[in-house]
Copies of this chain bind each other. A is one copy, B any other.
Amino acid sequence: MGTKIDLGPNGFIYPMPVTLVGADLTAGPNFMTVAWITRVQPNPPRLACGLGKGHATNIGIREHREFSVCLPSTDQLAVSDWCGLVSAGSGADKAAMFSIFRGALEHAPMIAECPLCLECRVERVVDLGSHELFVADLVATWTEERFLDEKSRPDIEKLRPFTLTMPDKRYWAVGDQVGEAWSVGRSVGGQPPAE
């Protein structure tokens, strides 16, 4: 271990999952690239994402209190990046780039090309300042048989999502499996795990 240095308060969590958040705007469905997102509770299943208040997406989510989270694969890398470059507010029709489908909710447009899409209903909106945190209940998880493993679980090697690192602005594929969770640590510590 070397000398520790302080880079200031702009540290990131590495790496960040890249998603496309879908919402219905006045002009129609829209999709925005979002990497600041995470699950926050298992039951009821909830996630949270932080979005700058200036985005057109925020207006649509606040109005309908519904949105989607679509996980693109590396096949959708360029168009996913594009959805973060252009703004619906400037007239870009991002929905025209995709095949849109809907599930249980009226205002959670989803992208058929994305291997996994989550339907979300807003539980609360937390005002952070420049951003707001949308805390939402998961309603459904849409995928296809071809993306599942032998136990009918989403298979990351078939989904092929990608991640983002900042401030270097790079996208990364998921690499090799390096261990089994709640398992590889059993050899450590010399005491039985208290699960």
Contacts and interface: CB of A to CB of B under 8 A. Distances in A.
Contacts of A135: 126, 128, 133
Contacts of A79: 185, 188-189
A14 B153 CA distance: 13
Contact of A84 (B103, B171, B182): B182
Secondary structure of the A side of the interface?
A: mixed
A34 B14 CA distance: 13
A74 B194 CA distance: 23
A134 to B, nearest CB: 10
Interface stretch (A24-32, A58-66, A140-148): A140-148
B38 A82 contact: no
Interface residues of A, number: 118
Contacts of A142: 4-7
A23 interface: no
A4 B175 contact: no
Contact of A191 (B11, B86, B138, B151): B86
Nearest to A195: B85
Interface string A6-20: 111111111111010
A44 B129 contact: yes
List 8 tightest A-B contacts by C-beta distance, closest first.
Answer: A40-B50, A81-B185, A11-B141, A82-B185, A175-B175, A173-B175, A85-B193, A82-B188
Interface of A: 1-17, 19, 36-50, 69, 71, 74, 77-87, 90, 92, 97, 99, 101, 103-104, 112-113, 116, 118, 123-124, 126, 128-131, 133, 135, 137-146, 149, 151-156, 159, 161-189, 191, 193-195
28 contacts: A1-B113, A2-B145, A4-B143, A5-B144, A8-B140, A9-B139, A11-B69, A11-B116, A11-B138, A11-B141, A13-B37, A13-B38, A14-B156, A36-B38, A41-B50, A82-B189, A83-B185, A84-B185, A85-B186, A86-B191, A86-B194, A124-B126, A151-B168, A170-B180, A170-B181, A171-B177, A172-B175, A172-B177
